[in-house]
Amino acid sequence: MSTALKNLSSYNIDDVPSGENSIFGIVVSEWNSEITNSLLKGAVETLKLNNVEEKDIYIKFVPGCYELPFGASKLLEKKKFDAVICLGCVIQGETRHFDFISDAVANGIMQVSLKKEIPVIFGVLTTNTLEQAIDRSGGKHGNKGIEAAIAALKMASL
């Protein structure tokens, strides 16, 4: 988790396995698109920096975070991927909707990964405010998209 004390988006490129000859899928929520597009940019740039060719990065959009697990599952039915990254952003509101969505998405992504036996990475921000989301999607706390791409590269190399 990125906090004021630690920015996990900083990494030593020598500690990350090469993504050469690997294929990655990215499923992106359209909800909070100003945030999710920044996460996507960070993930794609990181994959490319680590030797993944652009032609080997498949991007699909879904309406919201709740649809991320289904999107990942459908993507995995269409092609052999080394890992799939799910990117989204849920911001706390005045109701418990945040709790239900966050829990369902986290569990759904985990279930897809276990069922398909392919790493499906949880790159979903669950923040209290829009400011926190901005800080974690390219702002002062880094970019969760970068972190998700690093996790995908590491898991794909297992």
Q: Verify whether residue 97 is a known catalytic residue.
A: yes
Question: 69: which strand partners?
Answer: none
Catalytic residue among 6, 78, 97, 140: 97
Handedness of CA 66, 71, 77, 79 (dihedral sign): negative
Q: Which of helix, strand or coil describes residue 26?
A: strand
What pairing do the DSSP bridges indicate for beta strands 83-91 and 120-127? parallel
Tokens of 126: 């669950």
User: Catalytic residue positions?
Assistant: 97
